[in-house]
Each structure stands twice: as structure tokens, then as C-alpha cells.
């Protein structure tokens, strides 16, 4: 499941599981981009197409911290909401765009 176009990672839920989160790693990732702002000051990060690996790293840190938010893709290709309650909802303007996601997730579940 690789998507090579601009994608916004927008964190909307944090601090819910205060005792299990470690925001230090998240801020180190931000600093690697030269961004010194706090999460509440800039809850979103726009990743360009060639930054897919960086997006994956940020997303992993967010999910490990029990945060929630959105992945919003260019032209609503396939978007996702991930919750602090440990689930992900995928949605798209064109329903047929979700089929490759379904196939990939089913293949990984087997």
C-alpha cells in the first residue's frame, strides 16, 4: 500500500493515554525537519510524494503514543482516520479506490 503523492498527517487526538505516550521521539522527528513547534501549535505535517518512509515513521510514532488523527491524500484518493481506541477507518470519494487497500489488508491477515 504505497501512495506517492502529497499526504497530510493531521493529529487530532493526543494526551488521552498520558502515562503511555512518549512525545520525545515525535519531537525529535519534527526537529529533523527543522520544526521546533509543539504538537498543539502545528498538529499537521504535509508529506510530499517522495517522503513516504518519513510519513510511515511519523504515523507509527503517533499510533504507538495512542494518538488519533487523519491521513488525507491528494484529491481524496484514499484517506484514513486512526483512533486512540486502536482502529482505522478508510474512506475515499471514489469507492473503487478502496479495493486495493482491502486486498492488501486481507493478504496480510492470512
Within a domain: 2: no
- Do the beta carbons of residue 29 and residue 21 sit within 8 Å? no
Q: What is the mean pLDDT of residues 66-81?
A: 92
Count structural domains, the chain. Answer: 1
Write down the pLDDT at residue 18. 72
State the DSSP H helix or E strand holding residue 90, giving kind and residue range, or none if neither.
strand 88-91
Question: What's the domain range around 100?
Answer: 7-109
Residue 47 has pLDDT above 90, yes or no: yes
| Predicted TM-score of the model (pTM) | 0.85
Distance CA 110, CA 100 (A): 16
Instruction: Output the average pLDDT for the chain.
Output: 90
Within a domain: 1: no
Within a domain: 59: yes
Q: Which of 81, 82, 79, 74 is nearest to 98 (CA)?
A: 79
Distance CA 88, CA 104 (A): 14
Within a domain: 32: yes
Amino acid at each position: 500500500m504505497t501512495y506517492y503523492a502529497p499526504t497530510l498527517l493531521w493529529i487530532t487526538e493526543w494526551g488521552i493515554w498520558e502515562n503511555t505516550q512518549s512525545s520525545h521521539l515525535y519531537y525529535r522527528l519534527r526537529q529533523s525537519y527543522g520544526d521546533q513547534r509543539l504538537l498543539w501549535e502545528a498538529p499537521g505535517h504535509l508529506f510530499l510524494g517522495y517522503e513516504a518512509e518519513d510519513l510511515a515513521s511519523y504515523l507509527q510514532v503517533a499510533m504507538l503514543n495512542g494518538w488519533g488523527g487523519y491521513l488525507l491524500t491528494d484529491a481524496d484518493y484514499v484517506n484514513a482516520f486512526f483512533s486512540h481506541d486502536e482502529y482505522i477507518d478508510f474512506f475515499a470519494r471514489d469507492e473503487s479506490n478502496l479495493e486495493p487497500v482491502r486486498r492488501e489488508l486481507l493478504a496480510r491477515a492470512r
